[in-house]
Structures are given as C-alpha cells and as structure tokens.
Amino acid sequence: MPNNRYSRQLILPQLGKEGQQRLRSSKVLLVGAGGTGGAIACLLVRAGIGKLTLLDRDVVEPSNLHRQQLFGEKDIGAPKAYLAPEVLRSMNSEVEVVGLAEDFSPANAERLVAGSDIVMDGTDNLETRFIINDACVKLGRPWIYVGAIGTYGMRAFIRPDRGACLRCFIPSAPGAGTVPTCATAGVLNTVPAIMGALAASEAMKYLAGAPVSEKLLVLDAWTEEYHSISLSRRKDCPCCGKRRFEFLEAPVQTKVQVLCGHDSVQITPPRPAALDLQRLAAAFSESGDVEVHGLWLVLVAGQHRITIFKNGRALISGTNDEKTARALYARYVGN
Ligand SMILES: [Zn+2]
C-alpha cells in the first residue's frame, strides 16, 4: 500500500519525522490484553511502533465483550493472547506483534522487561503490577500503571531513574476481598478506553523523546472530575528505596490462583512443560467433549470447562475452589 499511513502524525510538530522514526524503532511490552490493554495495543500498533509483545493468560468471556474492543462473540472461549495479534496485524502489518498465553511471573518478568523500552500495564490485579514494578525498578525500565474500575481511571508513569515507584504510593497489597474489582464494582466501558488512550499518549511521548507527565492522574468519567497528584519517592520504599524485590523472589512452585470475578482458577506448573495435546485429547475422549486448537485444548467435563495450554498452564472454569481445581488438574494433566 502507498505509504502515507503516518502522514497525519508526521505533520504533528510534536512528533514529526524524527519522532516517527523513534516510534518505529521502539519495543513495547504489554501485560494484559483486555479492556485497557486492548485500547493501548490498538493505538500503539496503529501509531507504528516497531514491536509489541503482549501477554495475556485469559480466554475471552461473554462478560468481557462490553469493553474489550479486540474481541467479538465468535471469540468466546479462545485465548486472548492468540487472538489479539491477528487482529492487531490486520490494523498494521508493519508492526511485529508477538502474543504469549502466559502469566507475567517471576519466571519470565526480567527477561521480558529487559527486551523492552517501556512496559504497559493492561492487568486487572495488583499482584501482577507489583511484579512489573519490581522488574522495572531492578532493571531501570519505565512502565505506565493504568487502572480502571467503576467509573474511575488511574494512570501513573513510573520512571525508576527519576521518581516514585508503585510501592512508594501503594506499599503493599490490600487483603483479598478488601478492594473492589471489575466483578464486584463493575466498570463503565468508556473508562478502559479513555485510560488506555491516555496511557498510549504518554508512551508515545516517551518513545518519541518528549517530556512526560510525572503525576498520578485520577479521573471520574461519569462526573468528569479529575485530579493530578504529585508523587514523590519514599526513602523507606521496600522496592526503589531498599531495593528488595520481594515479588520477583517468590519461590518456584506450582501456582494456584483463584481468578477474581471469573469463576475460574488458574494453575501454573513450576516450569513450562511441552504437552502433547493430541495425545491428551485422545485420553480425554471418555471424560467429556474435547477440542484441540493448536496450542491449547478445551475439555468440557460436567460443569467444568478446562483450558489446557501446551506449556502446562490450565484455566479451570466453573469453580472458585482451589482444592477442586487442583484435583481436576491432577486428574487430567498430572502433578
Ligand atoms: Zn518506590
């Protein structure tokens, strides 16, 4: 196609040819490809970054469709990390897009962050944000924190070389069940779109070499009230002050996580496996309905829908109980 694709960006004095070239040579890591992550991905890919690596551990659910613009009804049940790159490449085939159906975890965090110029937060939980924060502070990489809940959105540009990190203003994770989630508080579908766009703007400014906002932005999309809050680094911050990276140092073991609001449990083995999905599918034929889709398979057994990835990770839907999920995993995949 004739390449005037970026003509409306090139004439912006804030970007120009040099800014566009800088975008073109940039590598972005996006953790989470849901509501905010999908908005970030679309905008950065259309703007012509060089490479986008996106991680997402979930499959598309009906309750995602009101806000997650990369996916439609036909995608229900399929892993977002495999669907999103295809959609994004259709928007701009000049960008290299890599999708990983993995958890962002201590096992892969430093390697992924080290290969990126900036990390974008498209997650829905604080635990993963603390892992991003640890890896970025340890390696001196910038990242953009983004949150969307109810009618509120938050955004902060974390620059470990200059200012506060996430744990300077959120020192530790509140107890389970004490903070609202999208499942308990809902989310207005414009909020992830707005916050994703505001985060993508800051990323483009940074990648193009322009100054960026150093404040925490909090806005209410319903009332249009917004606050811009100055953040300062705390000397006693366990992460950037004392350089203790607690979230990267978690022991390597099988991880069982109840995915809040999804009625599902994720099981991640300590080390990636290389499962023979065809063989597993044949073994499951008596247990329920099985479908193999290349890199993952789906087994529907009674009330449970079990998605098993080639690397051994599994999503068990239809339960919020760790013991039940562990037992199903042991039965179908092994220990
Ligand atoms: Zn800090």
- pLDDT tens, residue by residue, 30-64: 999 999 999 999 999 999 999 999 999 999 999 99
Q: Which of 152-161, 175-184, 291-300 ranks highest by mean pLDDT?
A: 152-161
Positions of E strands within 72-158: 96-100, 118-121, 143-149, 152-158
- Residue 141 has a pLDDT of 98
Supply the DSSP string of 239-261, one letter for each residue.
Answer: TTTT---TTT----S-EEEEETT
Confidence of residue 176 (pLDDT cuts 50, 70, 90): low
Cα 238 to averaged position of ligand 1 atoms, centre (Å):
7
241 pLDDT more than 90: yes
Question: How far, in Å, from the CA of 239 to the mean position of ligand 1?
Answer: 5
Q: Find the 157 Cα to ligand 1 centroid distance in Å.
A: 13
DSSP state letters, 164-198: --HHHHS-SPPPTTSS--HHHH-B-THHHHHHHHH
d(CA 45, ligand 1 centre) in Å: 30
Measured in Å, residue 233 CA sits from the centre of ligand 1 at: 6
Q: Calculate mean pLDDT across residues 182-191.
A: 85
pLDDT in tens, 85-105: 999 999 999 999 999 999 899
| Angle between helix 190-207 and helix 35-47 axes, rounded to 10 deg | 40
How many angstroms is it from 130 CA to the middle of ligand 1?
Answer: 11
What is residue 178's predicted lDDT score, i.e. its pLDDT?
Answer: 63
| Phi-psi category of residue 224: left, alpha or beta, with phi > 0 → left and psi -120 to 50 → alpha | left
Does residue 121 contact residue 31 with C-beta atoms inside 8 Å? yes
The domain locations on the chain are 7-230, 255-332
DSSP 34: S
Percentage of the chain surpassing pLDDT 90? 73
- The pLDDT mean for the chain works out to 92
**Mean pLDDT of the region 18-27:** 97
Q: Assess if CATH 3.30.310 describes domain 255-332.
A: yes
Pairing of strands 314-317, 96-100: unpaired
Q: Which fold has domain 7-230?
A: Rossmann fold (3.40.50)
265, pLDDT greater than 60:
yes
Average pLDDT, stretch 181-187? 76
Q: Which sequence positions are flagged as catalytic?
A: 182
Residue 17: predicted pLDDT: 95
| pLDDT digit string, tens, across residues 217-228 | 999 999 999 999
If you measure from the C-alpha of residue 101 to the centroid of ligand 1, how many angstroms do you get, rounded to a whole number? 29
